[in-house]
Amino acid sequence: MKISVVTISFNQAEFLERTIQSVITQKGADFEYIMVDPGSTDGSRELIERYRDSFAAVILDRDKGPRDGLNKGFARATGDIFFYLNSDDTVEPGAFARALEEFQRDPGLDMVCGHCWLVDRHDRRLRRAWSDPWQPASQAYATSIQIQPSTYFRAELFRRIGGFNEDHQFRLGWDGELFVDMCMAGAKVKIINAFMSNFRLHDAGLTGGGYNEQQYRTWHDLQFQKIMGREKAPRDRYLWYWWFVRRQLRNPRAFLERVLYGPMYKRYKPPRKAEA
CATH code where residue 143 lies: 3.90.550.10
In a domain, 122, yes or no: yes
Tell me the mean pLDDT in the region 121-148. Answer: 91
**Spatial CB neighbours of 117, under 8 Å, sequence gap ≥ 6:** 92, 125, 126, 127, 128, 129, 195, 197, 198, 199
In a domain, 102, yes or no: yes
pLDDT tens digits for range 141-170: 888 889 999 999 999 999 999 998 877 666
In a domain, 167, yes or no: yes
pLDDT tens digits for range 65-77: 888 899 999 999 9
In a domain, 89, yes or no: yes
How many Cα atoms within 13 Å fall on the side-chain side of residue 40?
22
Which stretches does DSSP call E strand in 60-180? 81-84, 90-91, 111-119, 125-129, 151-154
In a domain, 270, yes or no: no
In a domain, 49, yes or no: yes
Residue 273 confidence (pLDDT) = 45
Q: How many domains is the chain partitioned into structurally?
A: 1
Tell me the mean pLDDT in the region 240-269. Answer: 83
Tell me the mean pLDDT in the region 30-42. Answer: 94
**Local confidence band at 61 (pLDDT 50, 70, 90 cut-offs):** confident
**Local confidence band at 216 (pLDDT 50, 70, 90 cut-offs):** confident
Q: Which domain holds residue 114?
A: 2-261
Q: Does residue 276 have a pLDDT over 70?
A: no
**Local confidence band at 245 (pLDDT 50, 70, 90 cut-offs):** very high
DSSP secondary structure code for residue 110 in this structure: -
Residue 74 confidence (pLDDT) = 96
Which candidate, 43, 110, 57, places its Cα nearest to that of 82?
Answer: 110
What is the residue type of 169? Q
In a domain, 108, yes or no: yes
**Higher per-residue confidence, 178 vs 174:** 178
